[in-house]
């Protein structure tokens, strides 16, 4: 599989680029430069897929690290969204779609209401039967190839809600219910989504690591100083579920995009 490469003259300059195992890593001067580059890469890639095949399927992430990227992506207006099937990667269990912290609401407001995709399949966080919901969503994901997965890295190294205690590199499931660890819940509080750690729902539904990595292309955005420790662990420690983001190193179809802040703890960077 080919890796994503920067070929468009409008892309912000890369401060550093290097390879960790099979994973290409780009470092940008700022979060805004990172978001601009990611939006152009995603836009150009999806336009090519739609031109060649007539449709595309995409998994999107939420969280503060994705806000600038999604804003710029929908503003580019190059993609024929009527030919795009969208998924998201996680949702709190037990909250409805109008809750201020709901990832369904986040994506409805920032993406679906603005571009009107062919369909946006959402995880039902307030479902009555969580295991049935996991199977329903698994069937939807497996109904077509996933062309692109846009994701971020949590402060504890998680991808989606695959926190270290529940992450499995070779998970037999594509979607599963999980218990959130305290580090993950505290991140949600610090980002302003909940008033206290006690207010964060204890459980969530998440796509697993194999489901995320099934995508033909992956663009992982991980800016900000608060992600620096997780990035160091992901790139410098052995690949393991102790830092779920380390799995990206075994996926050459992925591109990890950092800013100088999130790359600040790396011991060695090859220019």
Give me the pLDDT at residue 268, please: 65
Q: Please report whether residue 49 resides in a domain.
A: yes
Could you tell me which residues are beta bridge partners of residue 44? Answer: none
**Per-residue tokens: 226:** 């608060």
Are 193 and 100 within 8 A, CB to CB?
A: yes
pLDDT above 70 covers a percentage of the chain that reads 95
**Per-residue tokens: 148:** 């692109």
Query: Is the per-residue pLDDT at 9 higher than 60?
Result: no
Cα torsion 90, 164, 214, 238 to 10°: value is 160
Q: Going by C-beta distance under 8 Å and a sequence separation of 6 or more, which residues neighbour residue 108? A: 97, 120
Question: What average pLDDT score do residues 73-101 get?
Answer: 95
Are 133 and 120 within 8 A, CB to CB?
A: no
Q: Please report whether residue 48 resides in a domain.
A: yes
Q: Please report whether residue 264 resides in a domain.
A: no
Are 157 and 166 within 8 A, CB to CB?
A: no
Residue 258, classed as helix, strand or coil, is strand
pLDDT in tens, 91-148: 999 999 999 999 999 999 999 999 999 999 999 999 999 999 999 999 999 999 999 9
Name the packing angle between helices 31-53 and 67-76 (round to 10°).
Answer: 40
- Which stretch of 80-84, 125-129, 151-155, 267-271 has the lowest confidence by average pLDDT? 267-271
Burial class (CB in 10 A: 0-12, 13-18, 19+), 34: buried
pLDDT in tens, 192-243: 889 999 999 999 999 999 999 999 999 999 999 999 999 999 999 999 999 9
Give me the pLDDT at residue 267, please: 85
Question: CA neighbours within 13 Å on the CB side: how many for 106?
Answer: 20
pTM summary value: 0.93
What is the number of structural domains in the chain?
Answer: 1
Q: Please report whether residue 17 resides in a domain.
A: no
Confidence of residue 269 (pLDDT cuts 50, 70, 90): low
Q: Please report whether residue 103 resides in a domain.
A: yes
Range of the domain at 193: 29-226
Query: Is the per-residue pLDDT at 26 higher than 70?
Result: yes
Residue with tokens 């207010």: 199
State the Cα–Cα distance between residues 154 and 199, nearest whole angstrom: 19
Q: Please report whether residue 35 resides in a domain.
A: yes
In this structure, are strands 23-28 and 16-20 parallel, antiparallel, or unpaired? Answer: antiparallel
Task: Look up the CATH number of the domain holding residue 51.
Answer: 3.40.50.1360
Give me the pLDDT at residue 13, please: 87
**Per-residue tokens: 188:** 């949600």
Q: Please report whether residue 63 resides in a domain.
A: yes
Alpha helix positions (H), the chain: 31-53, 67-76, 103-107, 113-115, 130-141, 182-190, 209-213, 228-236
pLDDT in tens, 34-62: 999 999 999 999 999 999 999 999 999 99
Question: What average pLDDT score do residues 68-95 get?
Answer: 96
Question: What average pLDDT score do residues 167-186 get?
Answer: 95
Pick from 14, 41, 37, 11: which is nearest to 27 by CA?
Answer: 14
């Amino acid at each position: 599989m080919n890796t994503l490469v920067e070929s468009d003259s409008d892309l912000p300059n890369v401060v550093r680029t290097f390879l960790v195992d099979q994973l290409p890593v780009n470092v940008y001067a700022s979060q805004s430069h990172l978001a601009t580059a990611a939006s152009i890469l995603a836009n150009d890639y999806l336009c090519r897929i739609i031109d060649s095949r007539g449709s595309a399927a995409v998994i999107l992430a939420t969280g503060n690290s994705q806000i600038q990227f999604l804003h710029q992506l929908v503003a580019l207006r190059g993609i024929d969204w009527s030919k795009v099937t969208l998924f998201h990667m996680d949702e709190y269990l037990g909250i409805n779609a109008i809750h201020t912290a709901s990832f369904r609401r986040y994506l409805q407001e920032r993406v679906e209401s603005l571009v009107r995709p062919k369909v946006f399949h959402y995880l039902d966080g307030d479902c009555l039967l969580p295991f049935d919901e996991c199977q329903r969503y698994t069937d939807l994901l497996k109904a077509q190839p996933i062309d692109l997965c846009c994701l971020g890295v949590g402060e504890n190294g998680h991808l989606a809600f695959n926190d270290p205690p529940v992450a499995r590199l070779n998970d037999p499931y594509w979607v599963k219910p999980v218990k959130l660890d305290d580090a993950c819940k505290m991140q949600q509080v610090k980002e302003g989504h909940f008033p206290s750690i006690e207010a964060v729902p204890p459980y969530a539904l998440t796509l697993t690591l194999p489901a995320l990595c099934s995508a033909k292309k992956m663009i992982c955005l991980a800016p900000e100083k608060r992600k620096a420790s997780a990035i160091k662990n992901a790139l410098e420690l052995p690949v393991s579920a102790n830092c779920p983001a380390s799995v990206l190193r075994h996926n050459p179809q992925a591109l990890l995009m950092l800013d100088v802040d999130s790359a600040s703890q790396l011991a060695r960077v090859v220019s």
